[in-house]
C-alpha cells in the first residue's frame, strides 16, 4: 500500500492514511514514531474503532471489530478532517478506501 501511495504522490496526488486508533498505536509501536514522521508529505489520521482500549500486544477481537465498524465507523470517517478539506475542483483528488470487509452470516 505504501508503494502505491508513493507512486501516486510522485504524480501529484495528496495522500492521507486513515487508521483505527488500535492499528495506529500498533504501527507506532512496531515501526516507531519515525515511521510516519519520515514522510512529511503524507498525512496520517486516526479515527475511533469504537472498541475499549486493549493491550498493544493483544490480538484484536475481529468479530467485535467488524460489528463496531458496521455500527460506529461511518460517522467518524465522514467527519475526518481530510474529507472536509479536500479541494473539490482538483482533478487529481480522489479517494481510495482500503479496509476490512465485514459480513455477518
Q: What is the pLDDT of residue 101?
A: 42
Q: What is the pLDDT of residue 59?
A: 64
pLDDT tens digits along 21-36: 877 787 777 776 666 6
Q: How far apart are CA 14 and CA 70, in angstroms?
A: 27
Q: What is the pLDDT of residue 96?
A: 56
Q: How far apart are CA 29 and CA 2, in angstroms?
A: 18
Can you read off the three cell numbers belonging to residue 66? Answer: 467488524
How buried is residue 46: exposed, middle or buried, by Cβ count under 10 Å (0-12/13-18/19+)? middle
Does this model's pTM top 0.85? My answer is no
Count CA atoms within 13 Å of residue 44 on its CB side.
17
Higher pLDDT, 83 or 59: 59
Amino acid at each position: 500500500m505504501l508503494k502505491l501511495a508513493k507512486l501516486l504522490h510522485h504524480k501529484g496526488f495528496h495522500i492521507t492514511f486513515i487508521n483505527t486508533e488500535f492499528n495506529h498505536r500498533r504501527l507506532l509501536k512496531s515501526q516507531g514514531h519515525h515511521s510516519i514522521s519520515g514522510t512529511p508529505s503524507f498525512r496520517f489520521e486516526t479515527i475511533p474503532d469504537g472498541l475499549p482500549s486493549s493491550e498493544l500486544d493483544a490480538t484484536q477481537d475481529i468479530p467485535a471489530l467488524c460489528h463496531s465498524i458496521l455500527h460506529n465507523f461511518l460517522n467518524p470517517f465522514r467527519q475526518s478532517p481530510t474529507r472536509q478539506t479536500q479541494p473539490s475542483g482538483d482533478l487529481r483528488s480522489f479517494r481510495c478506501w482500503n479496509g476490512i470487509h465485514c459480513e455477518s452470516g
